[in-house]
Structure 1
């Protein structure tokens, strides 16, 4: 169906009215009324709408109205002929006239004389300059956020620290670069503006200005959607300073000057809330480390005076008196005695009280594994007198933990075959801290039964006495040995709670063994008995940052063991020695490079004079990965590993954080090298290379390790194509 013509014409009316000026509108109204009156008098039908309002009127309303007005005038340009109806309201409109009064007189205003004194004063006054625009430098915080700081870094020297702090809390930055709701962006802009003002006050800028603007709200010229962006211009103004500082009763402490310096705030210093927090912690630490176990510090208060541009700090302190260490008492003396607790403490009676030593004693008690909970409470036994400190005892309250445990494991490995292990132990069988353990192993390649006595904190902190007796039957890749042995050691070693930069151990061992090189094929070798006595010592320098997962530092361990061996009526003396070194370097936040080397030798005996179990071997998880345990080195014509008298090993690996599972998973590509020589110095005749990829899963007690190694120069008769190793902690 076609469109309605009346509706098309009617649509001209609003278009016409919208285009008319006021003059044109009045002319058009007059002409319309005249037309209406004319048609009404003659009785003719009214003109059609398109005749009253032609297309030219819609296209240019003002010109059309002017033409109609000119048409209504006479040819001589006289008065417009009125065509209004007699009853039209416009016919009775009165004329409006206004006579100008001829006698109106306006007085001339008085002339104001210049004030000569004020004029001279203004002439001598210095010229007042308006504020200059402060040059700003832009810093992009995110795709949606820009901050302008004064270009002169001396105006706001804390700029970099301030910016890093703001980045960590900004709500706009969380939006990223995607399209966002403008209202949401504006709300976050207000939130970030409040954050900036709070941060500026933290740094002491109480008169700072933060000017906010949002750009990019209009669509682009190409019609693209707008990408709104927020900008903050920061004008810090003058920084306030610390005014009066009131520390309450600190002046009553004997060494109040040193304690006052620990606060680190003086009147006139730039005002900073961070310095107040740091000052409180510094003072608290100084009090705790200087003999004040009962000191108390109340919450600080800052009173800001804007007229002085200063803040007065009040931090009430009650020192509570200075003390020295007294006795240590146990609530379970038969379990862990007072004497034993005093032995493992790192202080003596009479030493100035230090809170860190009190906390260290608590950690040492927890490290015994014999308690489930422990509290250490200072107790005054003698008050201070003048300059003489008082005495404070430490009351130790402990809850006993379960000390007996039974453990077992069943497993299979390519190196060990099937194996079943079981043990029983009581960690306080001989109080204090005397452990007794009975263990047994039944497996394809190893059978063992043994008993172990161990006393922790023996005659001193972190000192360990161990006596171990066992009987075993072991068949490894290289050795078939039946052994009975007793071994004792006195050690000072690192542990997970107390890693030491220097540790050591000394000990002795006596064993009787009946053994031979393991026969893989061919004629079995005859067994040979050995009676061996050994003294040994080990020392380690450790600068690494972790026992199980180091990322920096190095370790060096030296081992020496002079031995005497009696077999078939003859005695042989020789010296076993070994040097291990490893280094760790963190390249960036997600990668650590680790390297290791090992050098070992046996001096003073021929290879056939040394029992097969005492020779040097390589291969396995902590040696050359990709090869079985003891599988690297020279072999006989029957294919049996003979071991050697010297060793060189090298390992290099990269520990790469993948970011998976919140950074718990890392990949470790590695390459290992090892060579075993029959001589006392390496000849590199038998060099084996292995490479592979490892996986680490970090836990609270250290990384779980899985390494998959491939032998690069594999012997098809003896070496597997792939070997898998599983363990706890890094390989080295």
Structure 2
């Protein structure tokens, strides 16, 4: 049923009068003529004879009657009902699900084109939803316009898009048909102003990457603009500007011309680093962190690198690094503005391992107590078998980027099945370290160590306890290569490291020996959910018999970071009391499959092997095997692992099950 609404002409007249009365009048336009084509001039209505102009202006006088207001309102009771209950109901549009297909784009559309269409398509968004014919038609029109836009962006300016609906199947099929036409080509590409770059013009033009006879592709042009902006600042032009590209289409020739203005602004070299006085670090220290020196060609990427390095120090919350005109001609100074970060950190660690027990560590750090970047850490460890405390001083970026000067003093008491030791140690080292922000391929360390240790072990032949005091001087050094893709959770690549520590035992008749250890690991992923990891470790102590070496300096095996399934340091030769005594050489192997399950959880079955030998050279016989499975929770700060293992060929006294809890992968 169609409902008609009839408006009285008198009501329309009232509305027009009110609108005219409410409209503001421009004083300068009151007498201006209004020209309306083909309009007839209507004379103003005459006022009634009994009314004067003063009556119209008197606010207390009654209003004049308006036309048609005297007509009586109709009696609604006598009018028929607005709707006939017996009249047939209007048919609602039938709701149905649909599918769609696009013909004609396979030869011209790449994966990016299709992904964009899928992300914006109205047909795709509502596919499977009950829809009526009007909705389906509207979505087809919207997707047709979308295809037209995408085709133009790909250079097909004459593309024709049509749509149809096939209803032969159970549900309608919307077919969008694309006739691409000719892909327009660039007849000319102009970069006005680029010639001012001198000998850099050719490489910069090549970096733009768009040339004559190339298709008119909006993506390629946008990528070229971005690359040109990046390259021109990396080629020594800090104040360069790249304008907006202009593309002129000629439909008659099916070609286009492209123009992109460039203003190089003059080449520069690095000058000084300048910064406002602050309590964090001065310009001289920032120059040590920077990877550029005064006189080097300006490179914008070096500023981005410096900005990240300043944030990575931990004492800076934000850093603004920008080029400014230098005092010397042809130079650009680097202005650095820093905002401090909270300098203090309290950290806690908690771990558990069979044979090692519970181990908790608490530390307090002031990262800039001795500026610049002079950190002091107070650390304490309380555990079932270990108690220690120490002070650690660190000077990050010491005389160069990524170099760390470390000095520490520690006192500890360790009570293990193999030995008991009360030790005081002074040590220092210069290291090149890696971080999660700047993972480095090569790292190294050079150190020195002085230790005084009172240790208790047993005489192997009799099992009787004894206590000895050792004074040890050592020069530990290490060199490591990291070819993996992630510091905490590697999925591909390999790592190789070596450690050599020449040591001198000063108690009684002084003698020397060397501790050498080699570690290697490899990682290989199979898809996104499976990573196979393997590890090998070999060690030797050359130059002294085992009994002369302090028990705390010998090799041991077993535990969460060694051979899982066994207690901490439980593998290897034992004394008459069935306690481990350590050895002069070490062999360890491990392999595990890291399987991602769902969300942040993963499962890790593993198989480990290893042994300790009394000889100086490691052997591959008499290996102890362990196997088990671990659970991983991949948090924002690294994987948390819980490993449960069992010995396959246990020694007397070995536990049936061993559990290990810690942060990070096993290797």
Q: Which TM-score tier does this pair reach, normalised by the shorter chain?
A: 0.7 to 0.9
Q: Tell me the distance in 1 between the aligned counterparts of 2:609 and 2:219.
A: 53
Q: CA deviation at 1:304?
A: 2.1
The 1:700–1:195 alpha-carbon spacing in structure 2 relative to 1, beyond 3 Å, is farther
Q: CA deviation at 1:538?
A: 0.8
Structure 2 residue 195 is matched with structure 1 residue 251: yes
Q: CA deviation at 1:196?
A: 2.8
Q: For residues 579-590 of structure 1, what are the structure 2 equivalents within 5 Å?
A: 579-590=518-529
Match of 1:207 among 146, 158, 161: 158
Is the contact between residue 182 and residue 228 of structure 1 (CA under 8 Å) also seen in structure 2? no
Is the contact between residue 677 and residue 686 of structure 1 (CA under 8 Å) also seen in structure 2? no
Match of 2:186 among 242, 252, 272: 242
Q: Tell me the distance in 2 between the aligned counterparts of 1:485 and 1:725.
A: 28
Is the contact between residue 151 and residue 180 of structure 2 (CA under 8 Å) also seen in structure 1? yes
Q: Give a deviation string over 1:195-254, Cα, whole Å, max 9, x none.
A: 333222222112223444444x346xxxxxx14444444432211011343434333333
Is the contact between residue 519 and residue 638 of structure 1 (CA under 8 Å) also seen in structure 2? no
Is the contact between residue 354 and residue 658 of structure 2 (CA under 8 Å) also seen in structure 1? no
The 1:358–1:616 alpha-carbon spacing in structure 2 relative to 1, beyond 3 Å, is same
Structure 2 residue 577 is matched with structure 1 residue 638: yes
Higher relative contact order (CA 8 A, sep 6+): 2
Structure 2 residue 532 is matched with structure 1 residue 593: yes
Is the contact between residue 353 and residue 568 of structure 2 (CA under 8 Å) also seen in structure 1? no
Q: For residues 345-356 of structure 1, what are the structure 2 equivalents within 5 Å?
A: 345-356=290-301
Structure 2 residue 559 is matched with structure 1 residue 620: yes
Q: Tell me the distance in 1 between the aligned counterparts of 2:410 and 2:649.
A: 38
Q: CA deviation at 1:683?
A: 3.9
Greater Cα offset, 410-419 or 228-237: 410-419
Q: Tell me the distance in 2 between the aligned counterparts of 1:543 and 1:420.
A: 32
Q: Indicate the structure with greater helix content.
A: 1
Q: Tell me the distance in 1 between the aligned counterparts of 2:526 and 2:301.
A: 34
Aligned-partner SS, 2:265: coil
Match of 1:665 among 577, 601, 619: 601
2:206 aligned residue = 261
Q: CA deviation at 1:637?
A: 2.6
Q: CA deviation at 1:584?
A: 1.4
1:467 aligned residue = 407
Q: Tell me the distance in 2 between the aligned counterparts of 1:320 and 1:261.
A: 19
Is the contact between residue 354 and residue 568 of structure 2 (CA under 8 Å) also seen in structure 1? no
Q: Give a deviation string over 1:359-396, Cα, whole Å, max 9, x none.
A: 11111111111122211121102486xxxxx2111111
Structure 2 residue 129 is matched with structure 1 residue 194: no
Q: CA deviation at 1:273?
A: 0.6
Aligned-partner SS, 2:465: coil
Q: Tell me the distance in 2 between the aligned counterparts of 1:240 and 1:372.
A: 50
Structure 2 residue 275 is matched with structure 1 residue 330: yes
1:54 aligned residue = none
Is the contact between residue 696 and residue 705 of structure 1 (CA under 8 Å) also seen in structure 2? yes
Is the contact between residue 676 and residue 684 of structure 1 (CA under 8 Å) also seen in structure 2? no
1:711 aligned residue = 647
Aligned-partner SS, 1:430: coil
2:237 aligned residue = 292
Give the structure-1-normalised TM-score.
0.72
CA RMSD of aligned residues (A): 2.8
Is the contact between residue 583 and residue 595 of structure 1 (CA under 8 Å) also seen in structure 2? yes
1:11 aligned residue = none
Q: Tell me the distance in 1 between the aligned counterparts of 2:425 and 2:153.
A: 69
Q: Tell me the distance in 2 between the aligned counterparts of 1:649 and 1:166.
A: 54
Q: Tell me the distance in 2 between the aligned counterparts of 1:577 and 1:312.
A: 68
Structure label with greater radius of gyration: 1
1:570 aligned residue = 509
Structure 2 residue 480 is matched with structure 1 residue 540: yes
Q: Give a deviation string over 1:51-96, Cα, whole Å, max 9, x none.
A: xxxxxxxxxxxxxxxxxxxxxxxxxxxxxxxxxxxxxxxxxxxxxx
2:39 aligned residue = none
1:362 aligned residue = 307
The 1:578–1:229 alpha-carbon spacing in structure 2 relative to 1, beyond 3 Å, is farther
Is the contact between residue 354 and residue 566 of structure 2 (CA under 8 Å) also seen in structure 1? no
1:487 aligned residue = 427
Q: For residues 107-256 of structure 1, what are the structure 2 equivalents within 5 Å?
A: 144-149=99-104, 156=108, 159=110, 162-163=113-114, 166-167=117-118, 169-173=120-124, 181=131, 183=133, 187-215=138-166, 217-218=167-168, 226-254=170-198, 255-256=200-201
Q: Tell me the distance in 1 between the aligned counterparts of 2:595 and 2:155.
A: 43
1:730 aligned residue = 665
Structure 2 residue 614 is matched with structure 1 residue 675: no
Aligned-partner SS, 2:260: strand
Q: Give a deviation string over 1:396-451, Cα, whole Å, max 9, x none.
A: 11122232344456776655445554433322222211122222334432221222
The 1:358–1:476 alpha-carbon spacing in structure 2 relative to 1, beyond 3 Å, is same
Aligned-partner SS, 1:526: strand
Aligned-partner SS, 2:639: strand
Which 4+ stretches in 1 moved above 6 angstroms? none
How many residues align? The count is 567
Aligned-partner SS, 1:428: coil
The 1:654–1:214 alpha-carbon spacing in structure 2 relative to 1, beyond 3 Å, is farther
Q: CA deviation at 1:681?
A: 2.9
